[in-house]
Copies of this chain bind each other. A is one copy, B any other.
Amino acid sequence: MVPHLATALTGPINELEQRMLDAMPAIERWFRLEWMEHTPPFYTCTDIRNAGFKLAAMETSLFPTGWNHLSQDTLPLAVQAAMAAIEKICPEARNLLIILENQWQGSAYLANIAQLQRIFNMAGLHVRIGSINPDIKNTTTATLDQGASITLEPVIRSQRRLGLHNFDPCTILLSNNLSAGIPGILEELHEQYLLPPLHAGWSMRRKTRHLQSNEDLARRLGKMLGMDPWLIHPLFAHVVTKTKANANTDIRSEYHMQALCDAVDTLLTKVRRKYKEYGIHEKPFVLIKTEREGTGMHSFAVRDVKALEHSVLAGQLLAHTLFVQEGVPTQERVGQAVAEPVVYMLDRYVVGGFYRLHSAREADHYLPNTPDTRTAPLAFAHGTHLPRFSGASTPNRFYMYGVIARLAMLAASYELEASDPEAETYR
């Protein structure tokens, strides 16, 4: 089930979209059966690009922020999904502790936390907000827009549990993506549920592992739908340095740059071949990305390998573990702005989303949610102009985004199973 949200799509339904709409019952059944075998991550958000000819999940966060950007009218879906998630994980729960990022900028992050607090509060839990930043020693109350406020408290760690003053939670929800590593204070919590688990953090996650998992699933879904999996996932390539790194930074950089150029070239060639196969007359591009979030480096787009060698940006990136991902052009627009859908999920339910808006000039870069990100929430597609009983036959143009986002969520589920340090214990 994917809620019927109003998208920016106004053109005719193309072949790819029609195929997904037609296969809806089969796709839903496929997901239901997958979720019988695999546990969904607690919550995710997925960045999607719709090129018209293809639709792909570009990034999937296991520590989604930006909940405040969702349309207010989709909130009940999030609450209902939160209730289902809690019921499954810890039905006896009374208290939920949300752990903040250690650093953040602007009030948007806190507005996002306030929205999460609201969702889990409406799902029937006492929810309080804790910080594991050792510099935070006192309880503070921050004022948000429109007069609301949020109270942040320093955590208290005991031998086996983490809590706040007079607050012993059964479940701890991490909004902290652990990009700086796993803090000791979160380890060895044997009697509390930590969501997502520590190995979902960016100190352990690798984006190519996720992409590989997504590619495998796209292949299976594509087979079921009788279509080329390339239409629903982005290609990617590892950057493999063929010589050993040594102390000589310049030589290492040189080898790294060569490896990067090779990967870019290989991937551009692959994409070019696909464009030719489908008669697409756009110029292919790829994105150079770091394997982990939290490096402070943004990905950037390359259309021509020749321009890469002397690029200052590429030079800076070389200090990190890189990979190359197929760029998927964005066809959607809200007003003059390029609009990129971001889809939110809680447990295995699609609960809402928004468009991230920016100018065409910025469109080549992967843009994280920053305080000044402009967004347009995706609201329910209904209104007086829709006849009351025609809804079933009005195509849900958000449906395909829900499919791609859940494919990415399922990929994250496989990814987390494979990287789970306690997997042996489970078997």
A83 surroundings in chain B (CB, below 8 A): 1, 28, 349
B145 & A92 in contact (Cβ 8 Å cutoff): no
Contact with B along A113-130 (1 / 0, CB 8 A): 011011001111110000
If A32-B92, A114-B389 touch, whether A25 touches B122 (CB-CB below 8 Å) is no
Which residues of chain A (68-92) have a CB below 8 Å from chain B? 68, 72-77, 79-84, 86-87, 91-92
**In the complex, what's the smallest C-beta–C-beta distance from A94 to chain B, in angstroms?**
6
Of B24, B80, B81, B380, the contact of A124 (CB 8 Å cutoff): B24
Interface membership of A3, Cβ < 8 A: yes
Closest partner residue, chain B, to A76 (CB atom): B3
Interface membership of A247, Cβ < 8 A: no
Binding site for B on A (CB under 8 A): 1, 3-4, 24-29, 32-33, 35-36, 68, 72-77, 79-84, 86-87, 91-94, 111, 114-115, 117-118, 121-126, 144-148, 349, 380, 382, 387-392, 396
**In the complex, what's the smallest C-beta–C-beta distance from A401 to chain B, in angstroms?**
15
B118 & A382 in contact (Cβ 8 Å cutoff): no
Closest partner residue, chain B, to A118 (CB atom): B392
A32 surroundings in chain B (CB, below 8 A): 86-87, 91-93, 124
Closest partner residue, chain B, to A146 (CB atom): B387
Q: How long is the Cα–Cα vector from A26 to B32 in the complex, in angstroms?
A: 31
Of B80, B93, B148, B396, the contact of A77 (CB 8 Å cutoff): B80
A76 surroundings in chain B (CB, below 8 A): 3-4, 74, 76-77, 380
Q: How long is the Cα–Cα vector from A124 to B28 in the complex, in angstroms?
A: 5
Closest partner residue, chain B, to A81 (CB atom): B80
B3 & A111 in contact (Cβ 8 Å cutoff): no
Q: Pull 23 A–B residue pairs with CB atoms less than 8 Å apart, ordered by A.
A: A3-B76, A25-B125, A26-B94, A27-B124, A28-B125, A32-B86, A33-B92, A35-B87, A36-B91, A68-B389, A72-B382, A72-B388, A73-B73, A74-B76, A75-B382, A77-B77, A80-B80, A83-B349, A117-B392, A118-B392, A146-B387, A148-B387, A148-B390
If A32-B86, A33-B92, A380-B73 touch, whether A1 touches B146 (CB-CB below 8 Å) is no
**In the complex, what's the smallest C-beta–C-beta distance from A5 to chain B, in angstroms?**
9
